[in-house]
Structure 1
Amino acid sequence: MILFLDEVQWIAVRRSKLISTIKYFWDNYWKKMNVMLILCGSIASFMVKRIIHSKALYGRITLEILLKGLLPHEAAKFFRNQRSKEEILKYLLVFGGVPRYLEEINLNRSFNQNINVLCFSKNSLMLSEMDKIFYSQFKEVEAYRKIVSVLKGTLLTFKEISEKTGKPSGGTLKNALELLINAELVDFYISMDKGWNSKFKKYRLGDEFLVFYFKYIEPNIRLIKAGGQTRLFEKVSLESLEVWLGFAFERFCLKHSGYLAEIMGFKDEMLLASPYFKRGEPGFQVDLVYKRTDKVIAACEIKYSNERISKKIIPEMEKKCTSLEIPRGYTLERALISLYGPDEALKNSGYFNHYVTVEDIIGE
């Protein structure tokens, strides 16, 4: 027998003894009846604190499954080959691989038209999504929003988050970050020359829509709610959208580092993937670096450009590569991740070992 309880966090509302009751029935009845009990919930903070870390259920959980967003080639199926790969990528940079968001996209509208309808009209669906995310996930909403707000830009260390939020760098802040990570709202990275237990981690907002929200929706929220304007998205993003898409593409590549490694043919050898940064050199960063089990370091340059990439990129990339601290005995490979790949001159130079384009990312 399979007993499936969906959205268990709502079943638990005003039922403080629900988990202990489940424990009682499991120990005294269901276990003996060979019942398979599946508890499913959409609020990560509840599932982690009340289920996974529950003392009542300690030693009784046999499998945890975290449902992540769709991979790019999976998300592309929502578009049924009716939109270009470039346009599909833009949607993924804004909404990520969340099916609930993707199913709202009207395939008879362009990217700008859909964004105006979904995000920049008076009663648009996504206008209140920020509040829905936080009020459903967390009790101390403003505290979590403050942490997320400071992470909307650059990568920050734990100490820097503490300083910018004014919160002591103790267990409370650490637990809050862990909950945000479990909810897949925040990502963290460790440079390749540091171990997994290193304190030199850097954190950044990982939810694609929230990054877009903080950049374009929140600063214009009053204007949007006032209504009466057409094509508002174009008006507020005209001078900055291409630059923002470039940064969003970098985040996208970091989030899907495993998927990109598979495209480049070394997913099974992937040990670590992160930006490369140095303590004391805040301006230096390599977009994405892979450390592999076969003693190869793969340094990636990420370019969101509407043109093929020329040989002009070589000095820029070489400067970054010479600053990398390559472990003894490791080979350095170079990869270029861009929309349209290299021009003929760059390709013939043999400088890069791997190329990934929008065709590879979105698939057929």
Structure 2
Amino acid sequence: MKFINRKKEMQTLEKEFSKENSFTVIYGRRRTGKTTLIKEFIKNKNAFYFFADKQNEKIQIERFKYQMSDHFNDEFLQNIELKNWDGIFDYLISKSSSQEKLVLVIDEFQYLCMVNKEFSSIFQRIYDEKLKDSNIMLILCGSLISMMYSQVLAYDSPLYGRRTSQIRLKPIEFEYYNEFFENKNQRELIEYYSVTGGIPKYIQEFNKEESILWNIENNIFNNNNFLYSEPKFLLQEEISDLSRYFSILQAISNGDTKMSAIASRLSLNSSSLTPYISKLIELDILKREIPVTENINNSKKTLYYIKDNYLAFWFNYVYPYQSYLEIDNLRFPMEKLKSNFNLWISKAYERLCLDSILKDEKIPFPLMKTGRWWDKNDEIDVVGLGEDKIIFGECKWSEKHVGLNVLYQLKEKSKKVKWKNGIREEFFILYSKSGFSDDLIKLAKEDSKIILNDF
């Protein structure tokens, strides 16, 4: 699969490469393409790449030694006994040239910290005494977010303050999906995004010549495919009580998005759920959301949703039907999926519209804050706040043209939003996958405060 996007990350790495002293940390959830990014960066550079694993430390030192022997074409090194990491890095530094910089990559760094709890401190000393003043660019990469925080990024970690840059690699943005699926139209791209959520590994697994429903049936619903058990694999190393976390995610996928509703569903006290919810937010799986005009500390209106599209899809359409899928009975799960799939895509479409508003050049003022708004009876899909201007948006994933009635309904709902009443200037933006009625298009041409977007 060709290398797509990641321009900002590549620019950061190239900038770090030009420095005399460079220590970059790359981290993020699995499958986002961290290793692919690194391999693309070092492709034409003098680089040594080591992939750590869960074997004991002695075996990993030996493996490191043999990889160096092969890399530097030094057969003599194979017969030298290196008992500790100091010897490993002394040799590596001796092979680094003052003329040509060496890029040293340790991938899945957290595993070295798992097999030896003191490794982070050992590596901190080695970095300070040896690597810091060498002609080596250091890259540490890791997938276990909690361990990368505790061992490398956190204030009380031994390596805190050493890094010169960090990259938290996020999923690919939707605007690049047409480079993955070159023969798909906008609707099809949104369908694929609603399930894969910008994770390169998932995109790679899909047959790009087939429909999204075909791919779900033959890949996600296939109990021999890695996608079928992916959420369990993603979470089992980060958390210990998998069943409790899965119960929370299942409750949220069922529509229990308030803390009190989740607690009620699980017959627990809300306070006992707080550490679990916080952990899921830390892992970039859940997102806490409040109405955009509310204070962040207002917990009464807080909702939680599953941030990752694939995990959200899995908990809606795989986890509840595993008893069918395990015996290859796909008919009932597929019927349930087809009956709700348009609604599923519409929710992803709303998130895409909200994400796109910050880059929308049609909006005539800078936005300081964006989000959704709701109260007990109404909801507005998109709201953007300027200094004294506000824009309200509605997203319609429908086969019909969006007409004036949608605009008028949006204006009525906007009156309930309490934000700088009396001094604010209001704008309205409508999103539609199927276009707009002629009378709405005519009105938008006459009124610059009405924006139409056929995103």
Query: TM-score band, normalised by the shorter chain?
Result: 0.7 to 0.9
Contact 1:2 1:36 in 2 (8 A): yes
Counterpart in the other structure of 1:327: 420
Q: TM-score, normalised by structure 1?
A: 0.85
Counterpart in the other structure of 2:57: none
Q: Distance in 2 between matches of 1:228 and 1:165?
A: 29
Counterpart in the other structure of 1:361: none
Q: In the alignment, which of 238, 242, 245 is matched to residue 338 of structure 2?
A: 238
Counterpart in the other structure of 1:192: 292
Deviation at 1:128? 0.7
Counterpart in the other structure of 2:348: 248
Distance 1:66 1:128, change over 3 A: same
Counterpart in the other structure of 2:171: 69
Deviation at 1:347? 1.4
Alignment of 1:8 onto 2:105: no
Q: Distance in 1 between matches of 2:161 and 2:352?
A: 37
Structure 1 window deviating more from structure 2 (307-316 vs 203-212): it is 307-316
Q: Distance in 2 between matches of 1:182 and 1:111?
A: 30
Contact 2:362 2:451 in 1 (8 A): no
CA RMSD of aligned residues (A): 2.7
Counterpart in the other structure of 1:57: 159
- Deviation string for 1:32-90 (max 9, x for gaps)? 3364432211222222233222431233233222111111121221112x122211110
Q: Equivalences for 1:200-349 in 2 at 5 Å?
A: 200=300, 201-227=302-328, 229=330, 234-254=334-354, 257=355, 259-266=356-363, 269-278=366-375, 281=376, 283-293=377-387, 295-328=388-421, 329-349=423-443
Q: Distance in 1 between matches of 2:268 and 2:126?
A: 42
Where structure 1 has 5 or more consecutive residues not aligned to the other structure, the ranges are 359-364
Contact 2:372 2:379 in 1 (8 A): yes
Distance 1:7 1:266, change over 3 A: farther
Where structure 2 has 5 or more consecutive residues not aligned to the other structure, the ranges are 1-101
Deviation at 1:244? 2.5
Contact 1:261 1:267 in 2 (8 A): no
Contact 2:401 2:434 in 1 (8 A): yes
- Deviation string for 1:200-233 (max 9, x for gaps)? 543211111122112211222111111155x665
Alignment of 1:179 onto 2:279: yes
Q: Distance in 2 between matches of 1:338 and 1:235?
A: 27
Deviation at 1:285? 1.8
Alignment of 1:356 onto 2:449: no
Distance 1:44 1:270, change over 3 A: farther
Q: Distance in 1 between matches of 2:333 and 2:190?
A: 18
Q: In the alignment, which of 29, 32, 40 is matched to residue 130 of structure 2?
A: 29
Q: Equivalences for 1:83-122 in 2 at 5 Å?
A: 83-122=184-223
Q: In the alignment, which of 230, 244, 266 is matched to residue 129 of structure 1?
A: 230
Deviation at 1:262? 0.6
Q: Distance in 1 between matches of 2:390 and 2:254?
A: 27
Q: Secondary structure at the match of 1:21?
A: helix
Distance 1:324 1:179, change over 3 A: same
Q: Distance in 1 between matches of 2:397 and 2:303?
A: 23
Query: What is the aligned length?
Result: 348
Q: TM-score, normalised by structure 2?
A: 0.69
Q: Which amino acid aligns with 2:450?
A: N
Q: Distance in 2 between matches of 1:264 and 1:102?
A: 29
Q: Greater RCO between the two (CA within 8 Å, min separation 6)?
A: 1
- Deviation string for 1:7-26 (max 9, x for gaps)? 21233332222211111112
Q: Secondary structure at the match of 1:103?
A: helix
Identity across aligned pairs (percent)? 22
Deviation at 1:97? 0.6
Counterpart in the other structure of 1:362: none
Q: Distance in 1 between matches of 2:248 and 2:138?
A: 35
Contact 1:289 1:297 in 2 (8 A): yes
Q: Distance in 2 between matches of 1:173 and 1:33?
A: 48
Contact 1:116 1:232 in 2 (8 A): no
Structure 1 window deviating more from structure 2 (187-196 vs 67-76): it is 187-196
Q: Distance in 1 between matches of 2:267 and 2:115?
A: 33
Contact 2:407 2:430 in 1 (8 A): no
- Deviation string for 1:212-264 (max 9, x for gaps)? 112211222111111155x665422232222222233224434xx2x332134
